[in-house]
Chain A
């Protein structure tokens, strides 16, 4: 993980992990989540959904830091995040 500066409490910090749930058939392929994911976890897929749009798929499952920006930004209410239990430390 890239850091601008080393935090003073780095030994205590834990990065949360999220699990992405994409409701493919609700997606209209606008690409907001792909464009604005701060950790570039998502990418538009080549497959078609029921409406003929390309829904996103999870490119980097481990990368999601549970920030829930995609959930807030999705105009179709088609993507959401649930928190995963296990956490990793920043140093790893």
Chain B
């Protein structure tokens, strides 16, 4: 045991709460890989880490907030985005990241997602999509592809799924990308770009769920599923977001789809107040002078 301690430490341990390890994710789940990409991205952005905040909701991916050694918040189901909005507006210096799952962000928190995108609040959303509600037993999620089996659709899912990049684009997000968990370097690069981008940026990470989605649909282990996603995905930067639907076990399009400029919530608020109130208005956010 003492010998082990003399060995050099894992470089990511500095940003992980090692007392909470091992984490709860199943073997061959891709969320751990997404977290390691996120940690690499955090090391690459030139931003003090004591001003980075991670907010998560409920679900498998919702555990991320508990495992990263930053200021992190584990909020109620579906509410990481309103919580992050409050954090960002309360202290505009913070870089706020919402790291949560598809069930959390586009199902129960769907309304918050579209309004945060509409207002262009300056937060980064990393949405891990594993096509079902994995933590509660594999029920149908709004992202489950047609004909896929799940606990609550034993004869095949018949609900048309959401396409997260299309939803984000049409609601006004300024940065939208989708990668599988195995596109490590590209995913890390996308996360860096999303973190540096002012405005509402969304990165969707396609992740295999070994225990529920792969087992119910008889797709082998998570490793087989991960390999399938990676090999069958087509990289198409700037693709039309209307054509990004995911069909069951069919090739999917990945890449960076949207990268545009729009005034953020605080910028438009400051501009409007300045116009209405004139010189007596003190702009809020973006500088340290207000306090």
Contacts and interface: CB of A to CB of B under 8 A. Distances in A.
Given A32-B33, A80-B11, A75 B223 contact: no
A15 interface: no
Contacts of B21: 26, 77
Contacts of A87: none
Interface in B267-284: none
B28 A31 contact: yes
A77 B25 CA distance: 12
Given A21-B7, A53-B27, A80-B11, A72 B227 contact: no
A38 B132 CA distance: 32
A5 to B, nearest CB: 23
Contact of B227 (A29, A35, A69): A35
Contacts of A31: 28, 223
B37 interface: yes
Interface residues of B, number: 32
A75 B22 contact: no
A73 B223 contact: no
A13 interface: no
Contacts, number: 68
A26 B4 CA distance: 12
Given A31-B223, A32-B223, A71 B11 contact: yes
A60 interface: no
Contacts of B30: 75
A74 B27 CA distance: 10
* B interface SS class: helix
Contacts of B12: 77, 80
A91 interface: no
**Interface magnitude class on chain A:** 20 to 34
B247 interface: no
Interface string B166-193: 0000000000000000101100100000
B261 interface: no
Interface in B177-213: 182, 184-185, 188
B40 interface: yes
A76 interface: yes
Contacts of A90: none
Given A77-B10, A77-B13, A80-B10, A72 B28 contact: no
B222 interface: yes
A23 B10 contact: yes
Interface in B211-235: 222-223, 226-227
Given A31-B223, A32-B223, A72 B32 contact: no
11 contacts: A26-B22, A29-B27, A72-B33, A72-B188, A73-B36, A73-B182, A73-B184, A74-B36, A75-B28, A75-B31, A77-B36
Given A35-B227, A72-B188, 12 more contacts: A21-B7, A30-B28, A30-B222, A30-B223, A32-B226, A51-B22, A71-B11, A72-B33, A75-B25, A75-B32, A77-B13, A80-B11
